[in-house]
Amino acid sequence: MTAYKPGDPVSVRRLYGRQQNHKLRLGQAELVEKLLPQISVPQEGEITSERLFGDHRPLHFEIGFGSGEHMAYRADMLPDHGFIGAEPFLNGVVGALQHVRELHLPNVRLHMGNAIDVLERVPDGSLSFVYLLHPDPWPKARHAKRRMMNSGPVDLIARKLKPGGEFRFGTDHPIYVAHAMMVMNGHPAFDWLCERPKDFLTRPGGWPETRYEAKARAQGHEVWYFRYRRI
């Protein structure tokens, strides 16, 4: 068994920060009341494509989907795939619900809460893609253990991905880039899909620009894109 650092997200199930930023409007509250229960991931038991979608299909898992832009884009582009998104913050879940309604996405399931709680219930070797895009960088050294890009979560992701599956990580924070590269460098379960520096400075095909990313670029931030193949 992997010896995780004290405070690693896999060993400590704590969510930091406020889970709601502002009061919901009436239409948003109705989405949470009516649509969310229809597409929520079950609270208990194994999480499989057959259970969620009624058939066997490629499964994608997004950890912390923000307002759901990336997940909705991918789900719309790949209607015969299944998408699971986990996000602890209510306003982000509302954003995803709006995308699901407006784009008529039957292939999305949501969990409002800790992604680890759902990811652990996915059978090993079941996922085709895992996404971790612009997670909280926790830039202070004493908070580094809280980062999702740490040995515990990465080992868990490796177990859940099928051979040939892909783990995508993106960030605009230089401290997190250095930390992530240190964690992933030489990881026995992954091959880094990068042949030259510009490969991780150029957004890959099928990876849409979100509002967060556009805002980061407007502020003068560089954005890095990492793709890793499960061996």
Q: What positions carry a catalytic annotation?
A: 136
47 class by beta-carbon count within 10 Å (0-12 exposed, 13-18 middle, 19+ buried): buried
Q: How far is CA 41 from CA 73, 87, 201, 205, 218, in A?
A: 20, 12, 34, 28, 35
E-only strand ranges, the chain? 59-63, 82-86, 108-111, 127-133, 161-171, 190-192, 224-230
Q: Which two tokens stand for residue 92?
A: 């982000």
37 class by beta-carbon count within 10 Å (0-12 exposed, 13-18 middle, 19+ buried): exposed
- Return the residue matching tokens 């892909």: 166
